[in-house]
Amino acid sequence: MTRSHRINIHHRDRQQHYTVEVPEDHYILQTAENQGAQLPFACRNGACTTCAVRVLSGEVEQPEAMGLSPDLRKKGYALLCVSYPRTDLEVETQDEDEVYELQFGQYFGKGKVRFGLPIEED
């Protein structure tokens, strides 16, 4: 018999709260949707940051989360589309642009660009 865990999800943009029961061998996003939760998603395969949450308490396992760096995982971020619950959880949806900036912002130059090269500012 597979254990289930209670997942409390705070959807920040919509100011909605969901509480769902998710078995340890099921993805959180899909199971939550099956129980009526309306949550952000895009790729459903762990390659983007649309379904990113901040884990406020509890533990997830997310071996397929290609779109989330190990550093962000250590800071408590998870992708619900490929996360399995390991304990009861309290999570909060995140702004996709914020997570994307945390994930990739250091790789992109700041300022104006012309033909792929930075423009020197006076």
Question: What CATH number did the domain enclosing 103 receive?
Answer: 3.10.20.30
Per-residue pLDDT tens digits for 43-90? 999 998 999 999 999 999 999 999 899 999 999 999 999 999 999 999
| Total number of domains constituting the chain | 1
Q: Which domain holds residue 53?
A: 4-118
Structure tokens belonging to residue 99: 């997570």
Query: Which helix (H) or strand (E) is 46 found in, with range?
Result: none
Provide the whole-model pTM: 0.83
Supply the pLDDT for residue 106: 66
E-assigned strands of 1-122? 4-11, 16-23, 52-57, 60-61, 77-79, 84-85, 89-93, 113-114, 117-118
